[in-house]
A and B are shown apart, each in its own frame.
Chain A
Amino acid sequence: MPTYRPGPVSLILAALVALFLLMPLLAVIPVSLTPSRMLAMPTGELSLRHYRSLIEDPRWLQSILLSIRIGVVSSAISTVLALCFSLGVWMFQPRFTAALVGFVLLPMVVPPVVSAITLYFLLTSISGFSSFFGYDTWLGVAMAHSVMTVPFATVLILVSLSQLDRRIDLAARGLGATVWERATRIIMPNIKFGIITAALLSFVLSWEEIGVTLFITSVNAITLPRLMWMGLRDNIDPAIAALSVILIIITVLVLAVRSVMTRQRAGH
């Protein structure tokens, strides 16, 4: 526990920053309740029409289902690839590890717009041979999202491996366990939490991904962020405010559950 505490000036400045951080999240609540068809503050009566339009307009539901499907597939791909790679790094500590890990982290460091044009190049090239896997297909988006999320999954799994005691693995090895047995019965159960976190983070990142998705979809593979983007650019649709409120509530709930869980884990 730090003994040097922030003084009143620090507290006031921090409070202003906190207010700035929360302001746009709070602002969407009144907008979502406006009876107007346009983006406006409610002037008197409130209405749930924009929440209703989320249910009634089939495009929202379709894009939500598509985003879930893409998120699940890309999260599975990136978690499995990241797990295998990290196990290889941790168990065998090959030469050039730093260079290989650096290469894997590239999509995280390169500006997203450059990744976007790169994946656009890839998927339009594939589209030449295939109509179900390439530009503007859900499989193409899932693959592109895997490229973007795999560095994050790798970092998380490598971090949890770095906290694992090597002697456990050495003991298993000394007792004659094969590589497969060591990986699946000794190491993976010990980094279970890291693997689950990696899968969840990959899903969330894919669910929110817009920078790359904009470049690789046009009319068929409309994910939820893509649909929100269209609504924000063309005419500002208050249904987006209703959707935003729902997303914010889910985020706050998930973070609250997570912080309770971390506290319990720390308590044991």
Chain B
Amino acid sequence: MRGVLSDRMGAALLMAPLLLFLVLAYAWPFLGVVKWSFTLPTPGLGQYDALLTDDLVQSVFIRTLRIAAIVTVVSVAAAYAITVVWVRGGPAQRLIAEFCILVPFWISVLTRAFGWVALLSNRGLINTWLQSIGFISEPLTLVRNEFGVVVGMTHFLIPFAVFPLASAMRSLDDRVLLAARGLGSSRMRTFWTVFVPMTRSGIIGSALIVFVFSLGFFVTPAILGGGRSVMIAELIYLRIFQSPDWGLGAAISVVLVLFVGALMALLFRYVRPKQLI
């Protein structure tokens, strides 16, 4: 009896500090944000009403969903291409692919956004080069618009899309592929009718991760969108700091959490959490 009791107390004592820390520093203040959404500037459901009626808020929501959808499709496709080589290529190919995935992954989001500004801006590498070869006379507008946002976000999210795909491709049984080839299926046909369907869980996991990340993404859209292609996260920032409209910022946050929560629930219906690492 004494043993059982001390086990429980041991567990409680060890787990308490972190749980207490997160309750005080995270869960409790989140409830405060929820309270803001119902009380600022005036008590009531006014802020949630604005979410449904305000044209600006609506257009930002729609733009965010659109950008997130495009980024998801492009990132998962690009990640698929490089993951195939990372997981199933020869030793040298694997090393190069790993380098190309991990180096950007570890580099700060700001450095990466800056790199895209350096490439895409009017006097950036791409415009300078296209003008020098006489392909264009006026610089193309590649950044401070939705195109720049999509490019920057796709670049950021490809490595995140790689991990679930890699885990699905690693656990795939080679013999099935060899059997398909042995039975006379072409390379392409084996890929589309055997390889891709067998990595379905990885594709779903990867798409949902990228989509969820895109919804709350802040830094890249703010820099590469240049204030013209505002997404939800930047709207929250502007509501808090530029027009002290804390109630609306809080209400958008609450809706965002509920939406992401629903998507995560969906994710875990299809993919076991272990497959994601």
Contacts and interface: CB of A to CB of B under 8 A. Distances in A.
B233 A122 contact: no
A172 B126 CA distance: 64
Most chain A CB within a 10 A radius of its CB, from B98, B108, B253: B108
Interface string B95-116: 0111111111011111111111
B230 to A, nearest CB: 12
A10 B84 contact: yes
Contacts of A81: 17-18, 21
B93 A11 contact: yes
A4 B173 CA distance: 10
Interface stretch (A50-58, A102-110, A163-171, A191-199): A102-110
A261 interface: no
B11 A21 contact: no
Contacts of A150: 18, 21-22
B38 interface: no
B22 A147 contact: yes
Contacts of B121: 39, 236
Q: Which among B14, B21, B215 has the highest number of chain A CB atoms within 10 Å? A: B14
Contacts of A240: 110, 114
B108 to A, nearest CB: 4
Contacts, number: 279
B90 interface: yes
A265 interface: no
A27 B119 contact: yes
Given A10-B85, A211-B218, A89 B111 contact: no
B228 interface: no
A251 B97 contact: no
B81 A17 contact: yes
B144 to A, nearest CB: 11
Contacts of A3: 174, 178
A6 B118 contact: no
Contact of A22 (B100, B109, B114, B124): B100
B89 A91 contact: no
Interface residues of A, number: 90
Contacts of A85: 14-15, 17-19
A244 interface: yes
Contacts of B13: 88
B15 A100 contact: yes
Nearest to B239: A117
Interface in B1-48: 6-8, 10-15, 17-19, 21-22, 25-30, 32-33, 36
Given A81-B21, A208-B108, A211-B218, 18 more contacts: A4-B178, A14-B97, A25-B115, A27-B124, A31-B118, A39-B117, A81-B18, A88-B10, A111-B212, A111-B260, A117-B236, A121-B36, A125-B29, A144-B25, A210-B108, A229-B110, A232-B117, A255-B102
22 contacts: A2-B87, A4-B181, A5-B90, A6-B89, A14-B81, A17-B79, A18-B82, A24-B118, A40-B123, A84-B15, A85-B14, A111-B260, A114-B30, A114-B256, A114-B257, A115-B26, A122-B26, A146-B21, A232-B114, A236-B117, A241-B114, A248-B103
Interface of A: 2-7, 9-11, 13-14, 16-18, 20-28, 30-31, 38-41, 81-82, 84-85, 87-89, 91-92, 94, 100, 103-104, 106-107, 109-122, 125, 143-144, 146-147, 150, 154-155, 159, 179, 204, 208, 210-211, 214-215, 225, 228-229, 232-233, 236, 240-241, 244, 247-248, 251-252, 254-255, 259
